[in-house]
A and B are shown apart, each in its own frame.
Chain A
Amino acid sequence: VRTGKHGQPTPSIVTRRPSPADVVVAAGARWLARANRCVVPALVGLALAGYILIYAGGLARSPVRSDGFGYYAYLPAVVVHGDPLFERLVADCCGGDFRWYGIQRWPGTGRWVDRYPIGVAVLVAPAYLLAHAVTLWSGMPADGFSLLYVHGAGLSAIVAFGIGLALLRRVLLRLYSPPSVTATLLVVALGTNLVHYATWDPLYSHIYSFALISALLWLVPTWFTDPTTRRSALLGLLAGLIVLVRHPNVIFLLLIPLYGIIGPRDLGPRVRLLAARRWSIVLALVVFGAVLFPQLALYRAATGQWLVSSYGDQWFDFAHPRVAGVLFSVRKGLFFWSPALIGAVAGLFVMRDAARLWRVPATVVLALHTYIVASWWVYGSGYGHRAFTDALAIAALPLGSVLVSAGRRPRLALIVSALAGLAIALSLAQMIQVWLGVMPMHDVTWKQYRRLFLRFR
């Protein structure tokens, strides 16, 4: 307590006129709080507008292309031709030969093997089946690739985008105030390549992985609170789908045992807790196995083996991970193309209160994921580094902490808001450059990047 001129005590916190920064930040926080309920519908509307622009505007011909064809091919093979081994599909769609590296005849058996797993097709199947029924009803070409099929499947990505964001919003509301949650969702959705993989490449696996991992983040704390039979089965289902959509994403399942661990002293109690819940875990594992079984059975039918590397001789090089390349390079660097995510790294150091329960799992999983991504041979074309799109829901957790921390200091909040706004604007501008064909989707050089910077023709 300070003393005044006449010795009387004066409070250390005095009422003062709010600074312009206080006023702006308070107004921004009020706006973000009000926008919290409508942020997900607004982002879904924006993605839908982008999808319409791409396909009605002629920027791309069909959502079924490149890797997306490989993920999609199971649907016409099974629904239209009733043959998951592709013989009838290849005869019908492609004159007897896919002429594409993604689906190849397996040496030894001579059967077709799709290098892309069945998970995306499983998740898209409801929309595809509806499209098939309406196609038959309308008299449109029931070949598995006509208008309703491909856009039924393509629009499933917008649904996944919306479900993923809605679940992530719920996860974040457990940890942060509504204004911080709104800001985090805006940065994750618009400051990264998330919209691109919901619209331009809607049949790649990444947007589905994002949605499933958001669902896992939502479910895990409730499972630890009360592991009911339903929650345990749902945990197994989500875990199975995460692996079914993209096999290396099995590492994201580490979030389950690591949730709530803050330091080494928590490990023993955690092991004892999991042992006490062994029957819930057995149930989750049974469901997990049941979800994976169709994929394993398909590998068995096509190759004679239950477990195969569908990528053949293309494999991870764990001895030589290119960490700097995948994080910082012009070619595909995560932070180069999505600089807003630097905030997520900073956030790992300021996760407090309830968010601390996610600090160790998020750090471990993001570090492992980076190592695995950096050990892969190449990540083809696309916008930004698409392997990290899967992990954006996890990155949102520390990102929210950074925004909460910044929000406590009005001037810092203004600076962080301005940086986040710039990062979002840059990310959206570059995404549109990619859509317009101005910015190449792969092997961009620094010279090329500088020449094309913010050019739209």
Chain B
Amino acid sequence: VTTSAPVRSQPARIGIVGVIVVTAVVLLAALRDPPWLGGVTSGLSPWIDAGDGGRVRWTTGHATFYVPSDAASIVIPIRAVRLTDDLLPLVVDLQVDGRLVQVVRFENEQWRRVRIAVGLLRRVRRVRRIEIRVSRTHAQSWRGVQLGAVDCETADGRRLDGQAACR
């Protein structure tokens, strides 16, 4: 027994194509700078207890999170965790909306609070993309990088707690 696909008429085909095109346009419009983008992260572990009452999350080699674009400055607590005691450094590049803004070189496990004046950069979208790129110059020396909760402030000193990736 064989079956053959029913032949669709020309108006039906045009209708199907039209529905696909309209759906695609609506989807693309909804996906341009969407309001939920601030909650998106990539390359970050879930939050874990740091043991001192705070919370941290591990990064992969390339981690991304977002902060509100009305933040004038952000402070990112960051530290590198060792595997061995040799002195080979670990280098972290910090980028905002694809622009390199700071390079941090780690030679010990001390926490650093890295301040970035994001307000000086041109505003592109409703959120700013913060990227952290980790270069373990000697992969066997370092376990990885941890981030703490990010503090975000507007130009007039107002805190943006709870917005996007802010504390």
Chain A positions within 8 Å of B, measured between CB atoms, are 90-97, 99, 134, 137-141, 143, 145-147, 170, 173-174, 176-178
Contacting pair A146 B42 (CB below 8 A): yes
| Alpha-carbon distance between A192 and B43 when the two chains are bound, in angstroms | 34
Contacting pair B1 A93 (CB below 8 A): no
Q: Taking the complex as formed, is B9 at the interface, i.e. its CB lies under 8 A from any CB of chain A?
A: no
Contacting pair B125 A177 (CB below 8 A): no
The verdict on A143 contacting B62 (CB below 8 Å), with A91-B135, A95-B134, A173-B3 known, is: yes
Give the nearest-CB partner of A177 in chain B. B1
Interface centre among A90, A96, A139, A143, by most chain B C-beta atoms within 10 angstroms, is A139
Which of B32, B41, B60, B125 has a CB less than 8 Å from the CB of A93?
Answer: B60
Q: Which residues of B contact A143 (CB under 8 A)?
A: 42-43, 62, 64, 131
Q: Taking the complex as formed, is B28 at the interface, i.e. its CB lies under 8 A from any CB of chain A?
A: yes
Contacting pair A92 B61 (CB below 8 A): yes
Q: Which residues of B contact A174 (CB under 8 A)?
A: 1-2
Scan residues 52-67 of chain B and give those whose CB is less than 8 A from a CB of chain A.
Answer: 60-62, 64
Q: Mark B131-165, 1 if CB is under 8 A from A, else 0.
A: 10111110110101000000000000000000000
The verdict on A134 contacting B31 (CB below 8 Å), with A91-B135, A146-B40, A147-B42 known, is: yes
Q: How many residues of B contact A (CB 8 A)?
A: 31
Q: Which residues of A contact B135 (CB under 8 A)?
A: 91, 95-96
| Alpha-carbon distance between A267 and B1 when the two chains are bound, in angstroms | 27
- Shortest CB–CB separation between residue B66 and chain A, in angstroms? 9
Q: Which residues of A contact B33 (CB under 8 A)?
A: 138-139
| Alpha-carbon distance between A96 and B131 when the two chains are bound, in angstroms | 17
The verdict on A170 contacting B42 (CB below 8 Å), with A139-B37, A143-B62, A146-B64 known, is: no
How many residue pairs link A and B with beta carbons under 8 A? The number is: 79
Contacting pair A95 B43 (CB below 8 A): no
Contacting pair A95 B136 (CB below 8 A): yes
- Shortest CB–CB separation between residue A306 and chain B, in angstroms? 30
The verdict on A138 contacting B42 (CB below 8 Å), with A95-B134, A146-B64 known, is: no
Give the nearest-CB partner of B41 in chain A. A141
Q: Taking the complex as formed, is B79 at the interface, i.e. its CB lies under 8 A from any CB of chain A?
A: no
Contacting pair A141 B43 (CB below 8 A): yes
Contacting pair B40 A93 (CB below 8 A): no
The verdict on A173 contacting B2 (CB below 8 Å), with A134-B31, A139-B37, A145-B42 known, is: yes
Q: Which residues of A contact B42 (CB under 8 A)?
A: 140-141, 143, 145-147
Give the nearest-CB partner of A175 in chain B. B1
| Alpha-carbon distance between A170 and B61 when the two chains are bound, in angstroms | 47
Contacting pair B31 A137 (CB below 8 A): yes
Give the nearest-CB partner of B126 in chain A. A139
Chain B positions within 8 Å of A, measured between CB atoms, are 1-3, 28, 31-34, 37, 40-43, 60-62, 64, 124-125, 127, 129, 131, 133-137, 139-140, 142, 144
Which of A95, A96, A138, A146 has a CB less than 8 Å from the CB of B34?
Answer: A138
| Alpha-carbon distance between A137 and B25 when the two chains are bound, in angstroms | 12
| Alpha-carbon distance between A176 and B2 when the two chains are bound, in angstroms | 10
Give the nearest-CB partner of A90 in chain B. B61
Q: Which residues of A contact B34 (CB under 8 A)?
A: 138
- Shortest CB–CB separation between residue A51 and chain B, in angstroms? 19
| Alpha-carbon distance between A443 and B80 when the two chains are bound, in angstroms | 37
Provide a sorted-by-A list of 26 A–B residue pairs whose CB atoms are within 8 angstroms: A90-B61, A92-B62, A93-B60, A93-B62, A95-B60, A95-B144, A96-B135, A96-B137, A96-B139, A97-B140, A137-B28, A138-B31, A138-B33, A138-B34, A139-B125, A141-B64, A143-B62, A145-B42, A145-B43, A145-B60, A147-B40, A147-B42, A173-B2, A173-B3, A176-B1, A177-B1
Contacting pair B60 A94 (CB below 8 A): yes
Which of B3, B32, B136 has a CB less than 8 Å from the CB of A97?
Answer: B136
Q: Which residues of B contact A94 (CB under 8 A)?
A: 60-61
| Alpha-carbon distance between A170 and B3 when the two chains are bound, in angstroms | 8
Interface centre among B34, B40, B129, by most chain A C-beta atoms within 10 angstroms, is B40
Q: Which residues of A contact B142 (CB under 8 A)?
A: 95
Which of B28, B129, B139 has a CB less than 8 Å from the CB of A99?
Answer: B139
| Alpha-carbon distance between A257 and B54 when the two chains are bound, in angstroms | 66
Give the nearest-CB partner of B37 in chain A. A139
Contacting pair B40 A140 (CB below 8 A): yes
Contacting pair B64 A138 (CB below 8 A): no
Which of A134, A140, A141, A178 has a CB less than 8 Å from the CB of B28?
Answer: A134
Q: Which residues of A contact B40 (CB under 8 A)?
A: 140-141, 146-147
Q: Which residues of A contact B140 (CB under 8 A)?
A: 97
Q: Which residues of A contact B2 (CB under 8 A)?
A: 173-174
| Alpha-carbon distance between A79 and B32 when the two chains are bound, in angstroms | 21
The 3 closest A-B pairs by CB, nearest first: A97-B139, A141-B64, A95-B61
Q: Which residues of A contact B133 (CB under 8 A)?
A: 92
| Alpha-carbon distance between A99 and B33 when the two chains are bound, in angstroms | 35
Q: Which residues of A contact B62 (CB under 8 A)?
A: 92-93, 143, 145
Which of A96, A137, A140 has a CB less than 8 Å from the CB of B61?
Answer: A96
Q: Which residues of A contact B131 (CB under 8 A)?
A: 141, 143
Give the nearest-CB partner of B2 in chain A. A174
Which of A92, A137, A145, A170 has a CB less than 8 Å from the CB of B32?
Answer: A137
Contacting pair B37 A93 (CB below 8 A): no
- Shortest CB–CB separation between residue A63 and chain B, in angstroms? 14
Give the nearest-CB partner of A99 in chain B. B139
Give the nearest-CB partner of A170 in chain B. B3
Q: Which residues of A contact B139 (CB under 8 A)?
A: 95-97, 99
- Shortest CB–CB separation between residue B60 and chain A, in angstroms? 6
Contacting pair A141 B31 (CB below 8 A): no
